[in-house]
């Protein structure tokens, strides 16, 4: 009498087929990225922008050669710089932070100034932090070197190097920025033409 093998085959199929093969089954979707972790946060006291109804984000984007950058206006000042400013009895200032993404095949990028223009024609200039800190030290010490000043100048000097994302600190010699601005421009070092930074609308 022939033995039947059908029940054994069915059992094997049920064991291997019911749950699906994890090696060949559909790939499970990964976690959804949090937009707050990939974009710059807008400061709460950001200016509005003349002519744009919903542009109060305070984050401005520019393209310079192959590099792209984001400017946060105003930005929180680093504690070490603020402590030095207070110690040297310098007037209140406003900070801007520039984050530059420079591709591998780009060139080192330095920024001399970020200029904020108002509808009334006023222009306010943020300059590289190292330059401003060096001036503070020279004014307070009659040109004599101060180790604390020298250390901060070295810390906040430098360019956005290729193949990296670099934070550059800028300092404006004024206590705040106007409630409404009309343009933001970026002046690279070396005498190149300035470029306009475009506002990122609030999300």
pLDDT at 53: 39
Q: How far apart are CA 94 and CA 85, in angstroms?
A: 12
**pLDDT tens digits for range 81-120:** 999 999 999 999 999 999 999 999 988 999 999 999 998 9
Whether residue 171 is predicted with pLDDT greater than 70 in this model: the reply is yes
Largest distance between two CA atoms of the chain: 113
CB atoms within 10 A of CB 163: 10
CB 184 within 8 A of CB 73: yes
Mean pLDDT rounded to a whole number for the chain: 79
Percent of the chain with pLDDT over 70: 70
Q: How far apart are CA 172 and CA 90, in angstroms?
A: 12
pTM, two decimals, is 0.74
């Amino acid at each position: 009498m022939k033995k039947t093998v059908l029940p054994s085959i069915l059992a094997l199929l049920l064991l291997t087929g019911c749950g699906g093969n994890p090696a060949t089954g559909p790939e499970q979707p990964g976690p959804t990225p949090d937009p707050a972790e990939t974009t710059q946060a807008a400061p709460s006291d950001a200016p509005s922008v003349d002519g744009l109804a919903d542009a109060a984000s305070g984050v401005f984007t520019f393209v310079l050669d192959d590099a792209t950058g984001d400017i946060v206006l105003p930005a929180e000042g680093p504690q070490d710089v603020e402590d030095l400013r207070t110690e040297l009895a310098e007037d209140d200032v406003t900070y801007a932070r520039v984050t530059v993404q420079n591709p591998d095949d780009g060139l080192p990028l330095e920024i001399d100034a970020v200029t904020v223009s108002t509808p009334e024609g006023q222009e306010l200039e943020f300059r590289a932090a190292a330059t401003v800190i060096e001036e503070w030290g020279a004014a307070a010490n009659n040109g004599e070197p101060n180790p604390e000043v020298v250390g901060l100048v070295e810390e906040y000097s430098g360019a956005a190097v290729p193949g990296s994302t670099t934070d550059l600190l800028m300092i404006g010699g004024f206590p705040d920025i106007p409630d409404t601005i009309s343009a933001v421009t970026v002046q690279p070092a070396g005498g190149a033409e300035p470029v306009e930074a475009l506002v990122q609308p609030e999300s």
